[in-house]
Chains A and B, each alone.
Chain A
Amino acid sequence: MNRTWYNRIWINNKARLGIIIVSIFIIIAAIGPIFFEDPNAYIDTPLLEPSFVHLFGTTGQGQDVFAQTIAGARSTLFIGFGTGILVVLLGLIVGSLSGYFGRRVDNVLSLIINIFLLMPGLPLMVIIAAWLPPGPFSIMGVLVFTGWAWNARVLRSQVLSLRERDFVNASVVSGESNIKVIIYQIWPQMLSLIMASFIGATVYAIGAQVGLEFLGLGDVDKVTWGNNLYWATNDLALLTGSWWTFVPTGLCIALVSFGLTLINYGIDEISNPRLLSERIVKSRLPNLFNRNGSTPVARKLFGK
């Protein structure tokens, strides 16, 4: 109980593995592109199979797939995490105001949240992305616009329940201003939900962004994971059997999402004591534990 929350995340195996995976990709995204002058350069014959010269082979245009996979990480992760932060920030502000002040404020904000939830996200996303000038910030804007409402809804209900707690009332009675009550008393208590929302939003942002770019709605001149897949289809990768043009990028996307999901699982286990205690009993008494069964009796293990 005395451990800080980041310490508790780190000792959780799932979360630790997730953090390691995601960190590796963040490091790759940060320093990887330095080693490649121009990942778009035409350097060799098109559609070469993977070899020691070109680790992941070449694309249908004769570009190095390895260089493109590494270079694509930067833009994709930047948009992914950036969108995650913005979505959660917007959701947190709207959700907090709505949940804390209630009544008329809640009525108006809830209405707006509900309207955004009812809008069909995918078609809207495609239409707006096609209308805006292509580029990373347009995609970020589209994703935030269509994705913030769900987080606002979830965070609002958490604020709503925390608002009724005595420590919040006590803080109000001692004269604290509403904004300070929200920031210093309520937000720290919902840190694990905020983290989970952020990670969920990031996974969503990466997936949706790749999807939009795959459809050609991004800036196709930039090297991103979504564009890598777009060009692979454009060059008829499946028909020519050149699997190496899309598998590395696809794997990277899957791995990042997997890592993020693992972190989310870890947070879930930490913030849900029931999951944690079941895991403890399961690991210490593997033969006796049964989730739906009766209290285990371990007289032999602990001695008479």
Chain B
Amino acid sequence: MNRCIERLYNGIVKENPTFVMLIGMCPTLAVTTSAINGIGMGLSTTLVLVFSNLLISLLRKIIPDSARVPGFIVIVASLVTIVQFLLEGYVPSLYASLGIYIPLIVVNCIILGRAESYASKNPVLPSIFDGIGMGLGFTVALTCIGAVREILGAGQLFGFQILPLADAAAGKAGFTPVTIFVLAPGAFFVLAMLIAIQNAYREARRKKGLPVKERSGCFAGDCASCHNGTCTGRVFTVGTDEDEKDKE
């Protein structure tokens, strides 16, 4: 049981996919225009992640190594399709505001990354908790980023006006929303600040001689450190043997 709790802590705090590892950034930037969108995207991803970890862990001894990545992709894509239908049926407003980013959960680095590096090597129960931990970590991060953007950009939180708006015509003093933060450029600025804060924190830790976790993913600067099979462009193993022979 300890191992399960350790997995939850690991996903939410120690290896938080967004704040610590900086992976899965495309949806992070695209959907965090409001806190509620962040929660919706985070929970959808969590659902996919938990079930993909469960299925992949169950099938880890059955799927042959050479067909590993295509197998994972089919499992993840099927789960994403199911989630897409659930959202379309039960939360149509969220479905409309998330748009194509729901099917794009398939290519989210976090899911295939966890499948490759954890679920395909570990028993079922810890894999499920790994999925829950990572998913909640992602949800928390998206909600925080969404909340920051919503407050700065509209003075709202979860759709409620929390900062009174200025009204020049009525001569009322108040908050003037920085609309750019809910638009596309704001996402880049918020992420830039996030990375800068993280860099400063890592630098401070390094000076104290404390260990600093290696970054993986897109912002580490090289694609080789990525666990995502779709990123390397080598999903199928067909032809790679021949390539090896060519080299020899």
Task: Please determine whether chains A and B interact with each other in the same assembly.
Answer: no
Chain A interface (Cβ < 8 Å from any Cβ of B):
none
Chain B interface (Cβ < 8 Å from any Cβ of A):
none
